Amino acid sequence: MRALVVAVVAGCTVTTEVGEELLDPRELQDNDGDGFSPSQNDCDDGDARVAPNLEEVCDGKDTDCDGQGDYPALCERYEVFEQRVELDVLFVMDRSSGMAGVQRRVIDAADLFVGRLGEEEGESRVGVAAADREGALEFAYGYAWAEPPMSSEAMIDWLQAALDLGEEGATARPRDALASSMPDAFHRAGSHLMVVLVSGEDDVHSSLDVDDVVGVLDTWKGPGKVSIHGVVPGAACADGAAESHEQLVLRTAGTLVDVCDPDEDIGGSLATAVQATAADALTTVFPLAETPQEGSVVVQVQEPGAMPAPWTLGFQVFTDPPRVVLADAPPKGSVIEIGYELDVGD
């Protein structure tokens, strides 16, 4: 004859027939509320994310309580990138009366500039802004030019219209504008921001020096480079030569177009600047979808016309946000393969 054992569990009366084995009442209680008690094969009754009816995921736990835990394939990730030019261009225009003629020359140069930009594979964003009297950035126009979404002719028309800001007749401060709050469109991790500073007035009343501006740009931009290319009057012109703008160009390894010479080919100079900047804009920053386990990242690079090979020039791994930064940029057209294991914490 079987005996009956009556137990009170969490306010409820449980009656169990006793045969070969007597269950501990604690084995019958579902402590984490996941619908399973230890007697029903819940292997961690203190964690509702662990239960027999759940699908195993990479979390450092035996999620489905099958006794196997995470198996390797669950925690392995493999991401592939193609090396493309990530080049953003922002024109910052001084629309003071003394720069009206230069502004027109830049507008006329748009066709050469767009033609060279269109030769670079990848996604570029082009925008036009002006500086007000206090040096704040007035973001008047912008266009995400991807893949590209319009013909070169249409892009030339758009850029010429955007650059035609007219003249304000008052001294503007384009250099200070660079340290203003920048549009989100020009804040892309890993991209190169090419600033074309069209300016004729030195910021003699500015509270910011060149170091301040460069420091703010570096902090604002994050991963990726900034280069400033000046379309400015040089020392050969009359009073008001933009010495501080020239310093910015030198500090950021940009190029300088001296508009003192009326025969200066602004279009050709800007086209050459795009070509040089694009060569320097090949990205070394590759964002990852998830956080990698320390020491688990493996990088292979397949350069155009070559077989995949381990990356030997070194790299760094960052977790906030997760990304791999190579010590050097693979050539355009390279395929970058990054494998890693997920970081599941303690």
CB count within 10 Å of CB 46 equals 8
221 pLDDT exceeds 90? no
**What's the CA gap between 133 and 168, in Å, rounded?**
9
Burial of 227 (0-12, 13-18, 19+ CB in 10 A): buried
Nearest to 164 by CA among 206, 103, 210: 103
Residue 1 has pLDDT above 50, yes or no: no
- Per-residue model confidence as pLDDT tens digits over 112-134: 888 888 776 666 788 888 877 66
Strand 12-18 relative to strand 3-9: parallel, antiparallel, unpaired? Answer: antiparallel
Identity of the residue numbered 234: G
Domain limits, the chain = 1-54, 75-81+284-341, 85-280
> 266-280 vs 110-117: helix axis angle to the nearest 10?
20
Percent of the chain with pLDDT over 90: 16
What is the 3-class SS of 46-79, one letter each residue?
CCCCCCCCCCCCCCCCCCCCCCCCCCHHHHEEEE
For every residue of 275-318, which 3-state class applies, written as one string?
A: HHHHHHCECCEEECCCCECCCCCEEEEECCCCCCEECCCCEEEE
Of 307 and 200, the one with more pLDDT: 307
Over residues 40-88, the pLDDT tens digits come to 676 776 667 767 776 677 777 776 677 676 666 778 899 999 887 778 8
Taking alpha carbons only, the member of 106, 196, 111 closest to residue 156 is 111
pTM: 0.65
Short-list 232, 292, 279, CA closest to 94 = 232
Give the tokens for residue 252: 């950021």
Residue 299 has pLDDT above 80, yes or no: yes
pLDDT digits (tens, 9 = 90+) for 252-268: 888 888 888 778 888 88
Angle at 154 between CA 153 and CA 155, to 5 degrees: 90
The strand pair at 122-131 and 85-93 is best described as parallel
Instruction: Give the CATH architecture of domain 85-280.
Output: 3-Layer(aba) Sandwich (3.40)
